[in-house]
Chain A
């Protein structure tokens, strides 16, 4: 008799989702799906608003990466105004984008994923949190909290608020940077660097402890997509799109982000509110691709800061046989490499006297009726596309979010984890947590494309083909 196992919600991710695993009569896994059961509809209700408001509106999409939406929205606005922004404004936008990476990557690694690593997948779920971490390694927990605080402080210092700052605008940013604030942030750099290196050394210990689990943690071939700089370096604010295959061969390069629709399509499935983007030349679903830290570190030719570049070379060894690192477990490693890059790059930018320039905004009227902005949010490439009338009133909005672009890969990961760890009989806590941990590799932010309608407890049901509940568990 076939069975379905449901995990809802998936815990320690941003937003609400559930996982279902349908079993064959012989107890093997027939299929596994990652469902996003929230609906938001930001694209629709932005219609009729003024283009100038979009930074404030879209930054409300998310409490974790509002700055990424703000910056990307401002870039779409730049395109509509048809202006080049002042050099200082670009440097300041780059600063705040790096701050977003720091606070989000620190949250993902230290707060959300480390409890699994330091306490174990089979540990008591009530203790698998920051308090459990403190019990195991107080210094690790303290450093993680401080590092995230650093990222938030940069955002607060630049934008006057930790979240939902209205600081970046079409044409630049609202205010120049002050020297005293610059010095305040520079004082954090040694500690931030030390903490990131500390986290990297911890993660390498973790790799050793999980060497039996890692080979089945979202390990499959896919395309990788992200922005790279003109010279092929790791990029976070600007650049052009690069697509590589699962062996690292470049399939497409120097794609103008404004043309993303020509290269990427979005499929829809009836069982999820999250769309399924794919690379058009390979069609759906073969055009599955991954974005975010693993993709960015895989596809770039090099990283422009010394410590992160040194670490990237070590990372590359993991994918030496296949050409790239195809295992999603190493999202965590790539995330920490990016964290190190962000701290190093931040130091370089803060030491650049041009960040203290006073001209930070170009002003113009509506000069184009269409504009696309793109940047690398912590979880991957983010696109905002706006169509406006001559008064700047939005006629249509399209947002392509990083988490959606990883949707096919997340589903593939869930299926792989289920096949590996589910025996069709016992639903153990460790089993459920491993499946969830497969999703957490991607650090999905479902809030970015959905609207929470309520929080459910974790509820697992085994049902037969007649939907009769055979077994269930609630936590």
Chain B
């Protein structure tokens, strides 16, 4: 059985932008039976790793919110055109669908509150707390998925 995939992405040198990366590394440590990919940004090569996954969860820093935001990604919605090699979650899913003919049935984007994106390897207190919450949310999503 192919395990769920958690994708954490962000820039670890831009303060709170590292939230997705840190959260994904914690998922790797704490949640067995989950594949974890950590990337600086989402690039086309990720599409192949999404194929045949029963569940995919993206973890990213989210600006303009004080609360953790967990949304399902509507894979039927039109995606904005791609102008470089960098992709958003919806664009990479569209690429996965175009190239391999399928997309994961369940895809979530967990947005971790972030406010400071200046050059730093430290994260704000708000983001630090939210990262812990995000790992719990990922655990619950996986549990829910496993229960069917």
Asked, given contacts A145-B45, A145-B47, A149-B48, whether A138 binds B81 with beta carbons under 8 Å apart, the answer is no
A126 interfacial by beta-carbon distance below 8 Å: yes
Residues of B within 8 A of A60 (CB): 13
Chain B 40-51, CB-CB to A under 8 Å as 1, else 0, gives: 110011011000
Beta-carbon nearest neighbor of A14 in chain B = B84
Question: Within the complex, which residue of A142, A148, A149, A162 is in contact with B99, where a contact is CB–CB below 8 Å?
Answer: A142
Q: Chain A: how many interface residues by the 8 Å CB criterion? A: 26
Contact A130 B44 (CB under 8 A): yes
Contact A129 B44 (CB under 8 A): no
Chain A 131-160, CB-CB to B under 8 Å as 1, else 0, gives: 100110010011001101100100000000
Chain A 161-195, CB-CB to B under 8 Å as 1, else 0, gives: 01110000000000000000000000000000000
Residues of A within 8 A of B85 (CB): 107, 111-112
Asked, given contacts A12-B84, A126-B81, whether A138 binds B40 with beta carbons under 8 Å apart, the answer is no
Contact B45 A12 (CB under 8 A): no
Question: Within the complex, which residue of B13, B48, B81, B98 is in contact with A134, where a contact is CB–CB below 8 Å?
Answer: B98
Interface size range on B against A: 10 to 19
Beta-carbon nearest neighbor of B101 in chain A = A138
Residues of B within 8 A of A145 (CB): 44-45, 47-48, 99
Residues of B within 8 A of A111 (CB): 44, 85
Residues of B within 8 A of A107 (CB): 85
Asked, given contacts A60-B13, A111-B85, A127-B81, whether A134 binds B40 with beta carbons under 8 Å apart, the answer is no
B39 interfacial by beta-carbon distance below 8 Å: yes
Residues of A within 8 A of B95 (CB): 130-131, 134
Residues of A within 8 A of B48 (CB): 145-146, 149
Contact A149 B83 (CB under 8 A): no
A112–B43 CA distance with the chains assembled, in angstroms:
13
Contact A131 B39 (CB under 8 A): no
Task: Give the most central of A112, A130, A146: most B CB within 10 Å.
Answer: A130
How many A-B contacts if CB must be within 8 Å? 49
A63 interfacial by beta-carbon distance below 8 Å: yes
**B118: shortest Cβ distance to chain A, in Å?**
13
A306–B17 CA distance with the chains assembled, in angstroms:
46
B94 interfacial by beta-carbon distance below 8 Å: yes
Residues of A within 8 A of B47 (CB): 145
Residues of B within 8 A of A12 (CB): 83-84
A97–B97 CA distance with the chains assembled, in angstroms:
33
Chain A 437-466, CB-CB to B under 8 Å as 1, else 0, gives: 000000000000000000000000000000
A142–B97 CA distance with the chains assembled, in angstroms:
12
**A165: shortest Cβ distance to chain B, in Å?**
12
Beta-carbon nearest neighbor of B41 in chain A = A63
Contact A131 B83 (CB under 8 A): no
Chain A 403-433, CB-CB to B under 8 Å as 1, else 0, gives: 0000000000000000000000000000000
Contact B99 A138 (CB under 8 A): yes
A138–B99 CA distance with the chains assembled, in angstroms:
7
Residues of B within 8 A of A135 (CB): 98
**B46: shortest Cβ distance to chain A, in Å?**
9
Chain A 100-132, CB-CB to B under 8 Å as 1, else 0, gives: 000000010001100000000000011101110
Beta-carbon nearest neighbor of B94 in chain A = A131
A112–B86 CA distance with the chains assembled, in angstroms:
11
A272 interfacial by beta-carbon distance below 8 Å: no
Contact A134 B99 (CB under 8 A): yes
Contact A162 B39 (CB under 8 A): yes
B77 interfacial by beta-carbon distance below 8 Å: no
Question: Within the complex, which residue of B45, B82, B84 is in contact with A152, where a contact is CB–CB below 8 Å?
Answer: B45
**B88: shortest Cβ distance to chain A, in Å?**
13
A11 interfacial by beta-carbon distance below 8 Å: yes
Contact A131 B98 (CB under 8 A): yes
Within 52-72 of B, Cβ neighbours of A (below 8 Å) are at none
Contact A148 B98 (CB under 8 A): no
Contact B40 A63 (CB under 8 A): yes
A153–B39 CA distance with the chains assembled, in angstroms:
13
Question: Within the complex, which residue of A63, A130, A163, A164 is in contact with B82, where a contact is CB–CB below 8 Å?
Answer: A130
Within 253-295 of A, Cβ neighbours of B (below 8 Å) are at none
List 13 A-B pairs, Cβ < 8 Å.
Answer: A11-B84, A63-B40, A111-B44, A112-B84, A130-B44, A130-B82, A135-B98, A142-B99, A145-B44, A145-B47, A145-B48, A146-B48, A149-B45
6 extra interchain contacts, Cβ-Cβ under 8 A, other than A63-B41, A126-B81, A163-B40?
A11-B84, A12-B84, A127-B81, A129-B81, A131-B81, A138-B99
